[in-house]
Amino acid sequence: MDYVNPTELVQEALRVAKKKAALSTQDLLLRGFLAGAFLAYATSLVMIVLSQGLPPIVGAVLFPVGFVMLVLLGLELATGNFALLPAALAAGEVPFGKLLRNWGWVYLGNVIGSVFYAVLFYLAVTNCGTSGSGALGDLLKQAAQKKTLGYMALGTSGFATAFVKGMLCNWMVTIGTVLAMVSRSTVGKIVAMWLPIMTFFAHGYEHSIVNMFVIPAGMFFGAPVSMRQWWFWNQLPVTLGNIVSGAFFTGLALYATFRAKESFASAAPALAAHQTEEIKLEPTVEAQAL
């Protein structure tokens, strides 16, 4: 059958997490770099669609292409690993040090890949800085300001809002990561991944890796946003929110309810053998008493 049931799904997720934790630093960085760039590609596609006046839902339908590409290629996305590695930690498959190592190097690779693509995208749109960016550049500037200065204007409430939107985002993104294993066919994997990724993007929630492209690109196009404003008012709270929902709402929650447990059927033979031994012992005890 094409469908993988939840219990088998969790076991597969643990196997994948253990494999991810064992990757070399070079592989974590390179796969993280490629994942960041591919997700940035998908985000710039959405920006192009929106700059042409199409409804935002069209962008949400198209955005999952980047996620699908990176998952099918086995690349490393920090937000997905925020769910897989904690489950493996709870199962005793991955030590805490390797969890932090994976998250750190993959996150760095995602940053480098996203910003690298942002630079190339800016150069392509502006003809290497010799022409204006038009509606596309304006849209990215507005997005960068909304994601940073908009939260800063609200103070503590803005920081908390970014954190909550980060949680709501990665709840769906990590469900997409897990659902990629729910089918044994490529088409099944694509459809399963597409649904939650489209859902989060249509809501306008905050994804830390997407923002690694949107905000720097907006800055390149002239958004008055500083590095500190980018990292403190968006990247930090959004990443923390992504971690909380990925680890607790998806990874640990699914592991807690679907982890492999000893069934009654498997325990029955041992129980029957134990009862047989007790029955055999009873005549012996009676004989000794006589």
Q: Where are the domains positioned within the chain?
A: 6-289
Query: Whole-angstrom Cα distance, residue 4 to residue 254?
Result: 14
CA-CA-CA-CA torsion sign (248, 251, 256, 257): positive
The count of other CB atoms within 10 Å of the CB of residue 107 is: 23
User: What pLDDT, on the 0 to 100 scale, is given for residue 60?
Assistant: 97
Looking at 3.40.190.10, 1.20.1080.10, 3.40.190.80, 1.10.486.10, the CATH number of the domain 6-289 comes to: 1.20.1080.10
For the segment 236-285, what is each residue's pLDDT rounded down to a tens digit? 999 999 999 999 999 999 999 999 775 434 444 444 454 444 444 444 43
Q: Summarize pLDDT for 185-207 with one digit per residue, the tens.
A: 999 999 999 999 999 999 999 99
CA neighbours within 13 Å on the CB side: how many for 163? 11
pTM: 0.90
Question: What pLDDT is stored for residue 279 in this prediction?
Answer: 41
Cα 186 to Cα 183: distance, rounded to the nearest angstrom: 8
